[in-house]
């Protein structure tokens, strides 16, 4: 199932992890570090995925947080991410989402950490009636 719509990966740049709360205020927040790590992946390996930093995804208890969405597809919220470990997992999941017509990648295809740290799955909006 190859989908043509680009998937958007929203990365909360204001997220802090509990360890980051003790970090000096001038150091980048964990969410900003996750965004930077994702952006270091070569563009060819991010094909089909638009990466966008956002101010808050309101999942502070399970920060770092991202959301993966596309028009007409399910949206996923993923949390408890480590910016030093999970950038590639997040990107892999976003690409699986992009390739599936409904944005529902098979559970077994998802990176293991993502399987265990999916916070929410939200149905696609249908056209107004």
pTM: 0.88
pLDDT score for 98: 96
Q: Which residue has the tokens 């590639």?
A: 88
The answer on pLDDT for 1 being more than 50 is no
What pLDDT sits at residue 126? 73
Cβ–Cβ < 8 Å for 94, 75: no
Q: Who has greater pLDDT, 113 or 5? A: 113
DSSP secondary structure code for residue 103 in this structure: S
Query: Which pLDDT tens digit goes with each residue over 13-67?
Result: 998 765 555 566 777 889 999 999 999 999 988 999 999 999 999 998 888 999 9
Contact 50, 42 (CB under 8 A): no
Whole-angstrom CA distances from 12 to 2, 60, 93, 95, 128 are 28, 10, 16, 19, 29
Average pLDDT of the chain is: 89
* Tokens of residue 60, six digits: 């502070």
**Residue showing tokens 């969410």:** 31
Helix (H) or strand (E) holding 82: none
Triad 14, 20, 21: Cα angle to 5°: 85
> Which pair of structure tokens corresponds to residue 66?
């991202």
d(CA 50, CA 23): 30
pLDDT at 21: 56
């Amino acid at each position: 199932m190859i989908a043509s719509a680009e998937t958007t990966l929203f990365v909360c740049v204001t997220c802090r992890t509990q360890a980051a709360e003790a970090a000096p205020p001038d150091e980048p927040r964990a969410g900003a570090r996750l965004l930077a790590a994702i952006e270091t992946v070569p563009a060819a390996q991010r094909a089909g995925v638009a990466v966008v930093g956002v101010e808050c995804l309101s999942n502070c208890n399970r920060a770092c947080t991202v959301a993966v969405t596309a028009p007409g597809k399910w949206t996923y919220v993923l949390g408890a991410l480590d910016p030093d470990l999970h950038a590639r997992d997040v990107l892999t999941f976003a690409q699986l989402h992009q390739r599936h017509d409904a944005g529902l990648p098979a559970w077994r295809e998802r990176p293991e950490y993502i399987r265990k740290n999916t916070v929410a799955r939200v149905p696609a909006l249908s056209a107004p009636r």
